[in-house]
């Protein structure tokens, strides 16, 4: 077994999402979430360091918008990202979502 190097508590989940760059948007799924970022499954082509708007469909059926920076890509599979420019409200929503999904 490897040593876990992550700094943030994380939740494995399966949430519908959309990603966009201001010109195009693509369907996606959030499958791993932490306070610091998330893994997004999508066939959309993205590049490292690209800034995207991520829209996540929450369990409450409300959409949650947040900006992400692409950290690494797995072509035709997805990408790892970090959250950027989070407001205090966005941070609270993310913490609550992680707690909710971790308790399931």
Output the six-digit token pair for 100: 């909710």
CB 48 within 8 A of CB 60: no
Summarised one tens digit per residue, pLDDT across range 4-58 is 444 557 788 999 999 998 888 999 999 999 989 999 999 999 999 999 999 999 9
Summarised one tens digit per residue, pLDDT across range 64-77 is 999 999 999 998 89
Q: Which domains does the chain have, with CATH numbers?
A: 10-103 (2.40.10.220)
SS3 23: coil
Count of CA atoms in the C-beta half-sphere (13 A) of 49: 0
Q: Rounded to an integer, what distance in angstroms lies between the CA atom of residue 24 and that of residue 90?
A: 23
Contacts with 99 (C-beta within 8 Å, 6 or more apart), sequence order:
none
């Amino acid at each position: 077994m490897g040593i876990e190097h992550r700094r943030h508590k994380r939740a494995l989940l399966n949430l519908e999402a959309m990603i966009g760059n201001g010109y195009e948007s693509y369907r996606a799924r959030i499958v791993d979430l932490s306070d610091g970022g998330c893994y997004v499954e999508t066939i959309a082509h993205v590049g490292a360091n690209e800034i995207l708007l991520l829209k996540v469909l929450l369990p409450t059926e409300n959409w949650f918008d947040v900006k992400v920076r692409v950290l690494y890509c797995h072509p035709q599979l997805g990408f790892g990202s970090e959250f950027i420019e989070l407001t205090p409200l966005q941070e609270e929503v993310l913490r609550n979502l992680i707690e909710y999904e971790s308790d399931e």
